[in-house]
Structure 1
């Protein structure tokens, strides 16, 4: 697949332009409503699907199918990020009007780190083809672990990154609008919002360890791997605000994601035995996530609604306070 430099440049320009539009649209702190989140989600999804159409027109159905499979994998696994983001925001009692700023810079960092990881993966595969089998085995094990630990909740008090931040970074106990750093008594100190941003970035890096090898299972073309990642990640903020209040209802989602990881892992392990057609990959991935979501919503249709954190969460306040106390 011969992708000219101007095509890479055009994609990066589109991504940066859309990020700029999003930043301008949310330049003032406000609570993102479900309607606004749904509108932005529709915009990001439409953009991602439309780019797949461009790939189809320029390189054919096979390449477009690879792009869509990668996009669908990343979009599915991104839902798991939403679980963790909701937990982090709740723990630190992040006011809802400041959450978009954190996620905006989180996505910006994710695009940069994904590019680095993808470049490293491409180099490894080119130099050592057997790495694909390592990726496959890793994904199978990761999928199995996700399934067996699907009901466990993350304990942020034991997070090593949070412990390091509390120990080495002077932190304010109060939020100062959307600022990440403020100056107190002549010294720059981090606000709780900065701590949250670091945890969001680290969370995405951890998830990238799963999602990027998974996309290599459907295509090893760098252009398709990165663009499918990028267009899926661009909609992560809107997805969070759209699903945050419903996330407690997706009780079978991790099982569906685990099935996807195991499937793509097995697909990698069978590279020299049987090359799974792209239409089958798309079908399995779409079916796994759809069944998980439908069964979850049916099983929890009588569950009471939950509302996102508005900054008054007791547990979250404790988390932010602990961060400050540790630096005194």
Structure 2
């Protein structure tokens, strides 16, 4: 189905989103600070409201089908971005990034995520246009990712150095002290990188791996590159403020990963069914369409996504309450004192983390 939206709306949307992101960047780098819970909540509400207004505009200017596709795609990417955010929390603690400068670091992580997802959107759209059977591969990949999400080990995720980080530690001259948001500093007359370079590498490799999950997931909901990209932008906007709003509560949402795994598995099955309807492989049913494969509608997908995240969140909060911990205590956690010294992690003995 072709997107029933005029060109001026698509171009105008990109311009407005670019201006909003530029404004957000300007605030971060002009006024580095630790946002209060109230400030963070207002910004998160603003970005969520902006996404809902955009969906309404798509309904009024386009049609209900594509408005529903945007909502389902946005919620899917938002849930995956929260999973991404959980690893960001661990990375910040792992490298002892001062809270005052975590806004800038998070913004760089979000920009990198947008760049990587933009590249994968272009590649994914090209693959779909030239090879429709790619949906079989996308579906299988999401099913494998869902299994890993639900049953893989996550206790040390983000807490260990990957090969890239260990290589950077060996090859780059990195100081022990943070110098605000500077990447370069001078120590005893020698030019060196600050620990921020290692943090950015960790965030970048994490963003790359999460993009591998998120792009096939949203292409299972819509094949419109415009919807895919805008849903990703709206899902990433406000993520920085959500980090400061939820704080350590992210670590307490123990069932969230199961909700995300269920969503990924559902979309993976949907992709396989879609591939069966549009089959181009001669060794699958003789290259003919498989009539018994159900056609899962956009609104069914939206209901499943909302339901899975609602059940996972409520179940996590019920468990949190039963343990005697309040939501406020979980948000603040055991905040460590402000520090400007990066952790001196071992370079050769840390095992590889699959996510970073």
* TM-score of the pair, normalised by structure 1: 0.91
What is the match of residue 295 of structure 1?
A: 315
Q: Aligned residue for 1:17?
A: 19
Matches within 5 A, 1:258-277: 258-271=261-274, 272=277, 273-277=293-297
Is the CA contact (8 Å cut-off) linking 2:84 and 2:210 kept in structure 1? yes
Residue of structure 2 in register with 1:153 after alignment: 156
- Which residue of the partner structure matches residue 248 of structure 1? 251
> Would you say 1:311 and 2:338 are equivalent positions?
yes
C-alpha distance 7-309 of structure 1, shift in aligned 2 (>3 A): farther
* Alignment CA distance shift 1:20-1:158 (3 Å): closer
| Pairwise CA distance, 1:109 | 2.0
> 1:286 — aligned with what?
306
Q: Deviations over 1:147-194 (max 9, x none)?
A: 112553226434122112112221111000111222446654221122
Please state if 1:38 is matched with 2:41: yes
Query: Could you give the per-residue CA deviations for residues 22-74 of structure 1, whole angstroms, max 9, x where no partner exists?
Result: 23333222112211111111111111111111111121000000010000000
The change in CA–CA distance for 1:112 and 1:33 in structure 2 (over 3 A counts) is same
Q: Distance in 2 between matches of 1:111 and 1:2?
A: 25
Q: Which has the higher contact order (CA 8 A, sep 6+)?
A: 1
CA contact (8 A) 2:263 2:305 kept: yes
Match in the other structure for 1:326: none
CA contact (8 A) 2:5 2:61 kept: no
- Whether 2:79 is the aligned partner of 1:53: answer no
Return the alpha-carbon distance in structure 2 between the equivalents of residues 202 and 308 of structure 1. Answer: 26
CA drift at 1:141: 1.1
* Preserved CA contact (<8 Å) 2:44 2:241: yes
Q: TM-score, normalised by structure 2?
A: 0.84
- For the Cα contact (< 8 Å) 1:69–1:278, is it kept in 2? yes
Deviates more, 1:30-39 or 1:225-234: 30-39
CA RMSD of aligned residues (A): 2.0
Residue by residue over 1:101-141, the C-alpha shift from the partner in whole angstroms, topping out at 9 and shown as x without a partner, is: 01112212222221111000000011100001110111011
Moved more, 61-70 or 164-173: 164-173
* Equivalences, count: 320
1:250-295 deviations in Å (ceiling 9; x for gaps): 0111111100000000011111222201111011000101110111
Q: Is the Cα contact below 8 Å between 1:95 and 1:309 reproduced in 2? A: no
As a proportion of its length, which structure holds more helix? 1
